[in-house]
Amino acid sequence: MTRQDSPLFRPLTIRSVRLSNRIVMSPMTRSHSPGGVPGRDVAAYYRRRAEGGTGLIVTEGVAIDHPSAVDNPRVPRIYGDDAVEGWAHVVDEVHRAGGRIVPQLWHVGPLWGAMSPVDPAIRPMRPSGVWGEPGATSYPDEYVSRALEPTAPMTEDDIAEVVDAYAEAARVAAEIGFDGVAVHGGHGYLLDSFLWSGTNRRDDRWGGDLERRSRFPAAVVAAIRSAIGTEPPVFYRFSQHKQQNYTARIADTPEELGVLLGALVDAGVDVLDASIRRFDVPAFEGSELGLAGWAKKTTGALTGAVGSVGIGKSLRESRLDGSAPTLDNIAELERRMSAGEFDLVSIGRLHLADPALATRLLRGDPLPRFDRAVHEGRLT
């Protein structure tokens, strides 16, 4: 028995790109690119997911060309001849397997120094010089204490340099042959830090009310769109929660969410990727709609859901106690997709457990079991 009639397996065309199904490999930091250069093992890792039937692969976060973009030397970058050549091989391997792939462009912003020791002479990019309002977090106290020390706010020159770095990364991605561009705009990283009042306390054109807090992310999107033209799609990951505080929010009402996300869509975003720890949790009182559903309702854009698909605990919860029990919530996922709540679903950990996850879902086979000890740190 197969699930060919499932909404998961309906094709979808986004600008110039046709996806064979709605299953997306979610971006996951792998730290297997020494010196920031993706090797043949990375290419094979992504190729296996394309061979397994995944409709779209979104790479792990990729560092743009800026001094404080990413603090882990094993995270891939998208600048420098060696890294660009590595990514070109990745793209070729995925395309040979019939897949589609986009890079997730990344600047960690206030969270500079969270992954690895950093050069103290390099200033983290923070809208107002603050790390954020601490709350529920999985970061150790020692790091939080250091991070809470204020720094100088971003200047106009800083903002212009970062916008240019995003645009150049997108241009290179298009030149390599990537099928589009994804942008990490959630989880307390740089773009998200402008949206969140806990990190953006500016009173100039880049901060203040909701419309002004959305201007910097929108400027980045507009620069990316200008760099790649009108054909490739742009995906944008956003979130309510922050790694500084998992209970933080950028919007308390659907109307507020619409102001922030509408600016991104107007700037050139095609798909809003709503990152939440559980895809089926209501985003606002009075409706069962999740975050992806409200993003679609308030903007009219295509949206994608993510969060604990096939797994009974969120990533943060599983890291705290080491367990990740399987939970077959695919029927609920399909119900919501059939109702038009969202258009794509991003799946992370189950793609680590089985590169042929999409084929498994098509066949109606039992879900694979994610084992953190086996799957999280290995490039299988």
Tell me the pLDDT band of 377, cut-offs 50, 70 and 90. confident
Tell me the pLDDT band of 323, cut-offs 50, 70 and 90. low
Q: What is the pLDDT of residues 227-258, one digit of tens each?
A: 999 999 999 999 999 999 999 999 999 999 99
Identify the H or E element spanning 274: strand 271-275
Mean pLDDT, rounded, of the chain = 95
CATH number of 7-375: 3.20.20.70
Please provide the distance, in angstroms rounded to a whole number, between the alpha carbons at the two ends of the chain. Answer: 28
The domain ranges of the chain are 7-375
Tell me the pLDDT band of 322, cut-offs 50, 70 and 90. low
* Contact criterion met (CB below 8 Å) for 222 and 196: no
Q: Which of residues 320 and 69 earns the better pLDDT score?
A: 69
Tell me the pLDDT band of 122, cut-offs 50, 70 and 90. very high
In 3D space, the residue among 342, 36, 34 whose CA is nearest the CA of residue 169 turns out to be 36
Q: CA angle, 329 as apex, 252 and 188 as ends, to 5°?
A: 35
> Are β-strands 344-347 and 23-25 bridged in parallel, bridged antiparallel, or unpaired?
parallel
Residue range 21-38: mean pLDDT, rounded: 98
Q: Residue 313: what pLDDT? A: 60
